[in-house]
Structure 1
Amino acid sequence: MDEKMMEHKLSLVSLDQSSLTSNLPSIGDDNEVTLETRDFSPEHLLLKIESFSLLSENGIDKIESSEFESDDNYKWKLIIYPNGRNTEDGANHVSAYLAVENTSNLDAGWEFNAVVSIFLFNHKLDKYAFKKGQRRFHLINPEWGFSKFIVKETLTNPSNGYLVDDTCVFGAEVFVAKNKGIRECLSFLKVTDSCKRELKISKFSELENEWYSEEFNDGDHKWKVCVYPKGIGAQKGSHVSIFLHKVGFSSSKKVEADYSICMKNRYGYVYRKSNNHWFSASNRSWGWPGFIPIASMKTSGFLVEDHCIFEVEISIRAILRSIP
């Protein structure tokens, strides 16, 4: 068996899966974990324990494997408690745990998710029985496993096939989830104040292309206003087009804003349009292609001595940002 095991060769048994499960003694009583079996040995660690009966005689209640490395370059140890980890949840059982090693070399605030499997070889059936679970490992909780991995009497009874010639073999596999997912935080803000800016465009009729205002701040957010005096797209030649433009995106991925742009004519009449939009790096500008007819600029008194004045008001309602 040892040569087969150490060479990681497949070992086929002339029993179907249902027959195997019904003949295999139950491993532990961790009800949330389903017992599984397979032919091939664990990928990352095999730990052979000889003279198992001498552990209790010599007062050895904890066995640690050498440090091993999983495919993701994290360091681990397998820890076996032959008499259970403690009297409350491991009494009359063998406990088995996997622990992250060299945590001082990991980044501050480290954490990751891993699928953990702990194995015990059954010599009689030439199969590996194992328990598997998923766990989030982090600085406060760098160790996880099964307090009731196997009933000690089940393991030590040679007829069950786990202990042969006073020797048993444990194993371990760990696969860390590659965390490529997006992590975001959505914050809703209580709107108490708004940002207001008055902007002036001189020599309006002489402008051929777009006009950008200077940047202005609303707290941590920067904005510009873009005006097309002769319109844009389908409104070109008939309407003035106006857009609010978000400048820069750092940790903020999206910003939801209520905003309005108004113009006051020489008679005191206010022409206003309002909108709400989620601004993002791929959608920085939003506004009105047909804000006001070009003809109305003069006839309605919004253009005085070839300049116009308008006011922008912005209220941030929510921020969606990336988190580490």
Structure 2
Amino acid sequence: MGSSGSSCSSCSSPVSSIKQSWREHPASSYSLKINKFSQLENHTAFSDHKYQSRLFSSGGYNWKLIVYPRGNVNDNGSGFISMYVELDSTSLTESSPTTEVFAELRFFVYNKKENKYFTIQDVEVKRFNALNMVRGLLKVLPYETFINPENGYIFEGGQCEFGVDVIVPPPLTNWEIVSFDEKLLSSPKFSWTVKNFSGLNEYVYKSDIFTMGGRKWGLMLYPKGDTRATGKFLSVFLHLADSETLKPDEKIFIQVHVRVLNPLGSCHVEKKLNSWYEKSNWALGWCNFFSLDEIRKAYLDKEDSLKVEAEFKVVSAIKYSTSI
């Protein structure tokens, strides 16, 4: 009777985090060279079948390299070379208030035949703390593969070499936290009444400076349009106040609705601005905000005033490190 099975194109086997490779460069944290591997095996028979190196320093902490020549039986590593590193317990107390250490581990076994180092690592960074002082790999190489001189790991009468890289990332010093303030003020609107609109002769007019989202802003209005508006459209821009000086690489995101109000209370002209301000003194907006003919027909009140309104929905804020 044949066996039955099923397959699914959306299903896949879990990707192993164990990666193997070869490299010419030896271990950078610690190297353990054995003159006669058989003697190491005999020695470890009286020390829980493992050899522990002397302490070595890496990343500001002290460690030991642990090798099980015939595998860590208690970790289901029988029949393999098992390798671990152990964090020295005094490293945690001496580095108070640190209570845990993160480290990337790479284990090496020298191969004389290839004249390279067999490299194996779990690409997941390991967490060391009071409850987990020892981390490593239980199946580095099959024992029979390692012990056969023809494979190159044992050479010149029993010599071999193990090594490890313990890579401890430095503390985080560069960071930023971006927040988008959607709860600005109870009245997140700024209103500007431009009087005697029909008689305005200046090229551009600026509103009073106002504060929204912890930043100072202003509106700019071109009553006859800026140079790109061909004299037929009103131009309106929102600018950062001169006192707002952005630091290098600093930027502000805003979401604001700008309106020209109809005196009758309906049919307001509205445009939405969703943009990043990336430089000081930036002005963003619209060259062709609205037809000047339409404004003269229906958007000036009895006193020849034009009312412009900016309603802020979002203003971003960034907290960042000061290491630069």
TM-score by length of 2: 0.62
Map 1:209-220 to 2 at 5 A.
Answer: 209-218=204-213
Answering whether residue 149 of structure 2 is matched by residue 149 of structure 1, we say no
| Inter-partner Cα distance in structure 2 for 1:301 and 1:159 | 93
| Inter-partner Cα distance in structure 2 for 1:128 and 1:78 | 20
* Structure 2 counterpart of 1:312: 310
* Structure 2 counterpart of 1:232: 226
Q: Conserved in 2, the CA contact under 8 Å of 1:227 and 1:241?
A: yes
* Structure 2 counterpart of 1:88: 75
Report the CA distance between 1:307 and its aligned residue: 4.2
* Structure 1 counterpart of 2:119: 130
Identical counterparts, % of pairs? 19
Which amino acid is the alignment partner of residue 123 of structure 2? Q
The 3-state SS of whatever aligns with 1:135 is: coil
Answering whether residue 45 of structure 2 is matched by residue 56 of structure 1, we say yes
Give the 3 Å change call, closer, same or farther, for CA 319–126 of structure 1 in structure 2: same
| Inter-partner Cα distance in structure 1 for 2:215 and 2:285 | 18
Map 1:68-83 to 2 at 5 A.
Answer: 68-69=57-58, 77=63, 79-82=65-68
Structure 1 spans left out of the alignment, 5+ residues = 1-29
* Structure 2 counterpart of 1:198: 191
* Structure 2 counterpart of 1:168: 160
Correspondence for 2:268 among 253, 260, 271: 271
Which amino acid is the alignment partner of residue 233 of structure 1? T
Q: Conserved in 1, the CA contact under 8 Å of 2:110 and 2:160?
A: yes
Q: Conserved in 2, the CA contact under 8 Å of 1:113 and 1:177?
A: yes
Answering whether residue 236 of structure 2 is matched by residue 242 of structure 1, we say yes
Q: Conserved in 1, the CA contact under 8 Å of 2:71 and 2:81?
A: yes
Report the CA distance between 1:263 and its aligned residue: 1.8
Report the CA distance between 1:279 and its aligned residue: 2.5
Report the CA distance between 1:243 and its aligned residue: 1.8
* Structure 1 counterpart of 2:255: 257
Give the 3 Å change call, closer, same or farther, for CA 113–269 of structure 1 in structure 2: same
Report the CA distance between 1:77 and its aligned residue: 4.2
* Structure 1 counterpart of 2:10: none
| Inter-partner Cα distance in structure 2 for 1:301 and 1:126 | 84
Report the CA distance between 1:227 and its aligned residue: 1.9
Report the CA distance between 1:170 and its aligned residue: 0.8
Q: Conserved in 2, the CA contact under 8 Å of 1:240 and 1:292?
A: yes
TM-score by length of 1: 0.62
Report the CA distance between 1:232 and its aligned residue: 1.2
| Inter-partner Cα distance in structure 1 for 2:99 and 2:215 | 29
Cα distance per residue 1:253-283 (max 9 Å; x no partner): 5535251313233x55653222242323259
Cα distance per residue 1:167-206 (max 9 Å; x no partner): 4311234678999x99887979799x87223223356525
Report the CA distance between 1:291 and its aligned residue: 2.4
| Inter-partner Cα distance in structure 1 for 2:81 and 2:188 | 66
Report the CA distance between 1:54 and its aligned residue: 0.8
Report the CA distance between 1:225 and its aligned residue: 2.3
The 3-state SS of whatever aligns with 1:87 is: helix
Cα distance per residue 1:87-109 (max 9 Å; x no partner): 13434433224578867769989
Report the CA distance between 1:211 and its aligned residue: 0.5
Give the 3 Å change call, closer, same or farther, for CA 296–240 of structure 1 in structure 2: same
Give the 3 Å change call, closer, same or farther, for CA 159–252 of structure 1 in structure 2: same
Give the 3 Å change call, closer, same or farther, for CA 319–77 of structure 1 in structure 2: same
Q: Conserved in 2, the CA contact under 8 Å of 1:296 and 1:302?
A: no
| Inter-partner Cα distance in structure 2 for 1:65 and 1:119 | 17
Cα distance per residue 1:136-169 (max 9 Å; x no partner): 4567799764221134455456676535656431
Deviates more, 1:47-56 or 1:150-159: 150-159
